[in-house]
Structure 1
Amino acid sequence: MRIIISFLIACNFLFSSQAAVIPADKLFSSPKYSKAKVSPNGLFLSITEKDEKNTYFKIINLETLETFNAKSFQSKTRIKEYSWLNDSKIHFKLYKNSKEVEYILAFTFKDNVKDTRFYTLNNGYMVDSLPTEPNHILYGRRNNQHHRLYKVPIDDFKYSFSKMKNAKLLDDAQKEIIGYSYDNHFERIITTELDLQNKEIIFRWRELSSSTWHTLFSYSPKDYHIIPAGFISEDVIAVLSNKNTDKVALHEFDIKTQTLGKVLFEHPQYDLIDAQFNKQGQLKSVSYYQKGVYTSQHFDLTKKKLTTQLKKALDNHEVYIIDSDHSNTKKLLYVNSASHPGAYYLYDSNINRIELLYESFPDLMSFNFAPSKYLSVTSKDGTKLDAFLTTPTGIDHDTLIVMPHGGPIGIHETDYFDPNIQYLANRGFSVLRVNFRGSAGYGKTFLQQGVGQFGQLIEQDITATVNQVLQSHQYKNVCAMGSSYGGYSSVMLAMKHPQQYSCVVAAYGIYDLPLLFNTSNYRSGDEYRSHIEGVVGKLDDSLTKLSPVYTAHKLQAPLLLIAGVDDEVSGIEQSNRFKFVLEQNNKSVDPVFYRKTGHGHSSWLWERHEAILKADFLYTTLGLKTHDIKTLNEMEKESLREDYMLLADSFEFGYLVEKDAKKSYRYYLKAAELEDARALFNIGSFFHRGQMVEYDFKKAMANYEQSANLGYASAHSRLGQLYMEGMKVERNHDKAYKYLTEANRLDDSYNNVMLLGRFFCTADEQYKNIDTCIEKFTLKDTHKLSNKKSRKVFDQRRSELAKAFMQGLYTPEEIAKLKVFMKETYNLTHLDFELDVEEAGIFEYRLGDKYRESGRYHQISDGYHVKGKNLSYGLRFTTDISGIDMRTHRTALIMMWTKQSKDGKSEPVKYSLLWGNPREDFIAIRSVESNDDNTNYSLQIYNLDKTLLYSKSFLVSQE
């Protein structure tokens, strides 16, 4: 253990001066180490370790520190939870291929012997591990009519259930119970039953050795809250309930009389969420969220003193005892806080020593995170509110982000490490969060006061908090940002206080409150409407006045509107309507609708994308300078480059968002300013194409050269190709060779290999080498490619070979070598032929008439003037050779399309090698493109001797 400790401390010391800019990909990620537990005998630690592809279940000998990788799980399998059954067996609940399955892992780890065996629980589930019988478990199985409970020896799970001869049936419930549980102290089985007719939850119990069931209690969750917390005696249990109290308190409950007894504990401010009892039924502790932090109040003075000492020893971060061995001497601690992403420690009470085991996020431990400040706020009517203010530790844009939470009823803000908040703080923004009326954890009255208060009391609470913060610091900018209800609230805050809010970010929100009552046929029944009323209030005209869709004219602040196309919670129609009316009112709205996304993202990549998008919206809208490039180190630049490239690529290629060339160019430009090599190359391409900017070949070349200097292979490839072909630059074989060979050195892809091959075919005598050219086109290991990739590579080879034939000057001997290569590569049998033109002119593509019948180009004219966006033009032909064998004979020719530029010069736009059976149709057809405006295109067909066989020109326009 000391080796682990000293190693980690050394690493933190080495990297303690790491960049202030926290990389978003490290912040928005799953913990590397999680789910740690201690074996009952205290000898082993178990923990999961995650990398990009797999999750590994590791067992560590705490005495020798030897590690055993007991099991690996692929990305489609997720460990939901696990527990130690005894010192050599572990129970797992897994999500595998979207289904929940359970296993038992039996392992051997001693004397250099490491072995594992996995047993499935045969479509059942573990109810309890039976600590008093460590070799047995309670095991539940259900089918359509029965729900059965068994006591089964663990070793029997190596067999199928039908062969478990020692499985003892304890109960056969023919009722619709939710499941079984077990009370270890009093050895009682407990069932939870859902009575759909009476809308009640019923708890029943029986002793393990008896068959008689007793009603523990029943209740309607709509009326009040009641959850069993543990048996106090044979006939009395403790329950967490707010039936007779405003707060969820700990009560006695008499099983025989079915009545609540005295209050054992009630917090004056917060709802209780848990209570712990010892084996004698005495109360050990109660838990609640205090000031946003899960807090346990201990009644055992020794335990209370220990937790205080542990917290003090660990820099006053929150400390939780999450597991211990059976002797209670080795305690596993989890430490975290708003500014600490989490770590596991081991406390050994025998020697009073704390030792670090694993950081949850090792890549983050060298960064400083922003702490949060707890605020106590008094609302206008005197109600006390909890709030949390997170302020930047580095760059500070003097901008306050007001962030209402979702729900709004029954949800609350906590004060723990949050990547979204830390990302904003790290990028220079302060973040304010409020537990307004309707938030959970503050009692029934506080909760109910938020019902039906959309746009009213809730926003008043938020505004009271904002005003208190502004009394101590006058921020230059204030913006509102939220998701779900928080999206609605953010918009309403800006509408109600237009002079205060400079911008709004609303995600996955609701903007048309009446629409909530009938969003679909499935959401229009009485029960659903009653549920909505319990959050929004009654459906009447007042909801229209409180809906942004109907008051869009009031919004003055620019809005970033984010939605998920597959959102089944808010519904995409909410955002569609709001977008429409904002655009109709000429409001500044930037809509970003994520495809394949619901009420938020299901992957860290797109969580990260959205966070970067939001921050950039703030920078752009408020006119803020992101960072001073001169002060950034290389690691910081790389972090920001990756941010902007993620945004740029998504809008360039349409990854989950709509393609947007304007946005992609802007983000590529931001990355290029940070010297991102690929971004510089892409900016050069924009200038080269004249897309989003005026055509400027000199600027294109400057960007290509800067990108090449930074080591980007595609820039070397592009420059080499330009100098090889003499496209817009003077042909220069020295430069072409330099760039193309460097492109191959950096990236020996098929593309770069073939470009270099074409160079050796078409260069001057100094570099020309037909044998080397042919060797480059003899592609190797293509059998390892997928079908899709191999088709792409072979298509490119046909294009590059066509260019090599047409652009090179060859002796008869060189042509002969190339033709031999072509014949061997494509199994050609006939190279001498004439064209038999079947159709030439203008074509229209039509789908087949029959099911699964492919479409076909149909000639509609033999003219040359092509007018229309959906038209195509060109040639359909065969090669005329007598004595053709359709099974074995093959021929080939070269197709070249050229475009006449504005200065009258011809510029090649496409080359291709066409090959196949001579009697089959060859097609050389192009479609009208968006930039065609009275453009002249010419088609030429050549044989492999470079003899022109056919030529035709077309005048093309979209209208």
Structure 2
Amino acid sequence: MKNSINTLLLLLSFFMVSSPEALPLPIEYFAKAAQFNQLRLSPDGLHFAATIPQDNATNLAIINRATMKVIRVYGFGENTHIGRFYWANNERVVYLKAEKKGYSEQLFSSGDIYAANIDGTKRLQLFGYSMTTKIKGKRQNKKKLGLAASGYLVNMLPEDPEHILVRARSFWGDGDKPQKIYKVNIYNRKREVIAKTPLGNMRVKVNASGAPVVAKGYNRDGIVQRYWYKDKQWHKFSADDPLNHYDFVGVNNDASTLYLSSAIQGKTRALFAYDMVTKEITKLFHHPVADIYKNIEEPSTGNIIGVKLMAQGMQYHYFDTKSPYSKLHQKLTDAFAGHDIDIFANSVNDNEIIILARSDINPGDFYLYNREKASADFILASRQWLDPNIMSERKLIEFKSRDQVTIHGYLTKPKSVAPDQGYPLVVYVHGGPYGVQDGWHFNNTAQMFANNGYAVLQVNYRGSGGFGLAFEEIAHQKRSTMIQQDIIDGTRWVMNKEDISDNKVCIMGGSFGGYSAVMSPILEPELFKCAVASAGPYDLVYQRENADYMKVDSVSHKATKVYGSDLQDLKAQSPITHIDKLKAPVLIVHGGRDRRVPPEHAFILKKALDKLNKPYQWLYKDKEGHGFYNEENRKEYYQTSLDFIEANIKAD
């Protein structure tokens, strides 16, 4: 096995860089995308499939396990990506075209779905905007194909290896228009309408055979509506239905159990099981402080047998301790102590399964576990050039806000000995702000700064996800007040630690983090020496009028609820309104193709700083969106940010 692995690594050596011993590491080591995002084993165990980023694209490679040679590569070319993929059966894969959004490396489906045989034959596009097919050298008319729709995978239909379930959204309708759910043949594109959703902004839960069970969505007024699917018809919940108080998590394969979640007394969410026959609701798990991070699902039955909680590392809680999959999962979490593990199996009876093990210092290693031998063989590292032994641990912290609320976060400190004045500090603010949280897993930006001698503070301020509904909702319409106060309070708290500098502090972030990077220094002009503001909305009135999320009625209603609609209040919460109070130099970073936070925000901020003759630096990339994804641009962003912060801290 080891020789086979070495063969694959040699074949794919152009993705890899040998791990150096000297510190700090080159900036590009943190700017580079993972060399492998996903790795899956075919149902018969004869082939691997892996997504491999290369040159601002992500391709899908099919690998013969016996020879460990790449036998086929699928891709779309530069600046396009293959996101999620699935083994439909032993000979055919289904994969989704994807794009990157936001300040993360996460890929989001573009609505294009493809299927292909592993030998390169019978490649078909099943759904998507670019849908065409060639017949005798000519392209068939798109309209005749009846495919003027984006497709979103609902279910792989594990009991039917020739079909998948797809939710289709018309190109020509608005986002609130009802959508059709199709059963699609992955060999010839033939499709059958299974159901039509009553609303456009809706999520449907189905059983293993593809039959809809229940759905929840928002109407054009932003009001939540729930439906049962019975006798091939949607039936709106009655006003007194007890399930009106729950969100739908999933359905097990035979639709005997519906899994639900609900905030207990408006705080953290609990997981429940609803018996579809007896109508009995049973609470499975609840934690008083943290929301459930992820459910642990048994692949053969679809039953949820446990949950993950994210704290200082990953905590596992099992409420089904006797099932074979539960016993296997517990065995592997013990074996990979200190890691978050994900298991990729086609069935609970699979003798061989793929394991992904990640931690705060390890971006991810793939293993092949053999159940008969009870052994796990290392296959691939997602980022071979980053040695976990020289990465910095991410410590869970908590402090009291000025109004005595417990706030959590993470502190990443360099492994080197602190200088006499303590480590200089970078306060790195996450985006959102609502429903998003900084987590324990490996973080490129935090590790890059720690590797260069900086401590990095990340605050899960009120409004963040993961700590209950009340914790999130209390910060609605308080972007410039409560949220910034939590960030500032966390900064002051960590500055009191003996190994952290009490005067060498800069703040940075992307999206809402970019907003905070300007707003916090406005509120506390003497606290921060500099700010790196990326893709931030600095004029909230302009943002309300121009953001992409305001173009769909059901979504805009929610945005209005959390952000507010009073123009005077939005103006008062805008950094641009108070820019005269800003003392810290700013590095302004933005992409010219940003639709979430239009690039005009960067120019508005630039113009205001010019008018007041305030110092700033400019990093603008015409072809980037909401975040930088080109590897060279990411490298430039990291290097420019590092140089900018270092210069301003030393200037004191």
- TM (norm. structure 2) is 0.78
Structure 2 contact 180–197 (Cα < 8 Å) conserved: yes
The reply on whether 1:585 has 2:618 as its aligned counterpart is: no
Moved more, 404-413 or 301-310: 301-310
Q: Which residue of 2 aligns with 1:786?
A: none
Change (3 A) 1:602 1:49: closer
The reply on whether 1:404 has 2:432 as its aligned counterpart is: no
Change (3 A) 1:580 1:419: same
* Superposition map of 1:603-752 within 5 A: 603-623=630-650
Write the deviation string for residues 478-512 of structure 1: whole angstroms up to 9, x where unpaired: 11112222223223322333333222222222333
Separation of aligned partners in 1, 2:307 and 2:341? 16
Query: Pick from 121, 126, 135: which aligns with 1:121?
Result: 126
Separation of aligned partners in 1, 2:4 and 2:364? 17
Query: Pick from 491, 496, 503: which aligns with 1:466?
Result: 491
Write the deviation string for residues 793-843 of structure 1: whole angstroms up to 9, x where unpaired: xxxxxxxxxxxxxxxxxxxxxxxxxxxxxxxxxxxxxxxxxxxxxxxxxxx
Question: Any idea what SS the aligned residue of 1:102 has?
Answer: strand
Separation of aligned partners in 2, 1:217 and 1:528? 22
Which structure has the higher relative contact order (CA within 8 Å, separation 6+)? 2
Separation of aligned partners in 2, 1:56 and 1:442? 36
The reply on whether 1:342 has 2:353 as its aligned counterpart is: no
Q: Which residue of 2 aligns with 1:35?
A: 38
The reply on whether 1:316 has 2:338 as its aligned counterpart is: yes
Change (3 A) 1:61 1:470: same
Separation of aligned partners in 2, 1:521 and 1:149? 28
Q: Which residue of 2 aligns with 1:73?
A: 75
Separation of aligned partners in 1, 2:434 and 2:203? 28
Structure 2 contact 163–183 (Cα < 8 Å) conserved: no
Query: Pick from 352, 356, 364: which aligns with 2:374?
Result: 352
The reply on whether 1:330 has 2:352 as its aligned counterpart is: yes
Change (3 A) 1:261 1:91: same
- Deviation for aligned residue 1:351: 0.8
Change (3 A) 1:197 1:9: closer
Structure 1 contact 562–591 (Cα < 8 Å) conserved: yes
Write the deviation string for residues 237-269 of structure 1: whole angstroms up to 9, x where unpaired: 221233864322223447699x99453322211
Question: Any idea what SS the aligned residue of 1:82 has?
Answer: strand
Separation of aligned partners in 2, 1:204 and 1:456? 42
Question: Any idea what SS the aligned residue of 1:425 has?
Answer: helix
Structure 2 contact 91–118 (Cα < 8 Å) conserved: yes
Total equivalences in the alignment: 596
Separation of aligned partners in 2, 1:406 and 1:371? 22
Structure 2 contact 207–254 (Cα < 8 Å) conserved: no
- Deviation for aligned residue 1:603: 2.0
| RMSD of Structure 2 on Structure 1 (CA) | 4.3
- Deviation for aligned residue 1:352: 1.1
Q: Which residue of 1 aligns with 2:459?
A: 434
Separation of aligned partners in 2, 1:553 and 1:150? 59
2:251 aligned partner, one-letter code: G
1:298 aligned partner, one-letter code: Y
Write the deviation string for residues 29-49 of structure 1: whole angstroms up to 9, x where unpaired: 222223211222334332233
Question: Any idea what SS the aligned residue of 2:507 has?
Answer: strand
Change (3 A) 1:197 1:320: closer
Q: Which residue of 2 aligns with 1:456?
A: 481
Question: Any idea what SS the aligned residue of 1:459 has?
Answer: helix
Structure 1 contact 231–237 (Cα < 8 Å) conserved: yes
Separation of aligned partners in 1, 2:363 and 2:547? 41
Change (3 A) 1:192 1:507: same
Separation of aligned partners in 1, 2:450 and 2:519? 24
2:575 aligned partner, one-letter code: P
The reply on whether 1:183 has 2:207 as its aligned counterpart is: yes
Structure 2 contact 272–282 (Cα < 8 Å) conserved: yes
1:205 aligned partner, one-letter code: Y
Unaligned runs of 5+ in 1: 109-114, 162-166, 626-959
Separation of aligned partners in 1, 2:548 and 2:83? 34
Query: Pick from 44, 47, 54: which aligns with 1:44?
Result: 47
Change (3 A) 1:525 1:8: closer
Structure 1 contact 508–564 (Cα < 8 Å) conserved: yes
The reply on whether 1:299 has 2:319 as its aligned counterpart is: yes
2:74 aligned partner, one-letter code: S
Structure 2 contact 246–260 (Cα < 8 Å) conserved: no
Structure 2 contact 59–74 (Cα < 8 Å) conserved: yes
Change (3 A) 1:304 1:477: farther
Question: Any idea what SS the aligned residue of 1:472 has?
Answer: coil
- TM (norm. structure 1) is 0.55
Separation of aligned partners in 2, 1:351 and 1:174? 47
Query: Pick from 85, 106, 123: which aligns with 2:117?
Result: 106
Give the greater-gyration-radius structure (CA): 1
Write the deviation string for residues 897-917 of structure 1: whole angstroms up to 9, x where unpaired: xxxxxxxxxxxxxxxxxxxxx
Q: Which residue of 2 aligns with 1:265?
A: 285
The reply on whether 1:93 has 2:96 as its aligned counterpart is: yes
Separation of aligned partners in 2, 1:357 and 1:413? 29
Separation of aligned partners in 2, 1:622 and 1:139? 53
Structure 2 contact 29–386 (Cα < 8 Å) conserved: yes
Question: Any idea what SS the aligned residue of 1:272 has?
Answer: coil
1:2 aligned partner, one-letter code: K
Change (3 A) 1:26 1:141: same
Structure 1 contact 452–533 (Cα < 8 Å) conserved: no
Question: Higher helix share goes to which structure?
Answer: 1
Change (3 A) 1:349 1:102: same
Structure 1 contact 247–269 (Cα < 8 Å) conserved: yes
Write the deviation string for residues 280-336 of structure 1: whole angstroms up to 9, x where unpaired: 786511344x22766542224466665565455446232222335552332211112
Separation of aligned partners in 2, 1:142 and 1:503? 45
Change (3 A) 1:146 1:336: closer
Separation of aligned partners in 1, 2:521 and 2:167? 54
Structure 1 contact 217–255 (Cα < 8 Å) conserved: no
Separation of aligned partners in 2, 1:172 and 1:446? 37
Query: Pick from 209, 212, 226: which aligns with 2:247?
Result: 226
- Deviation for aligned residue 1:431: 0.8
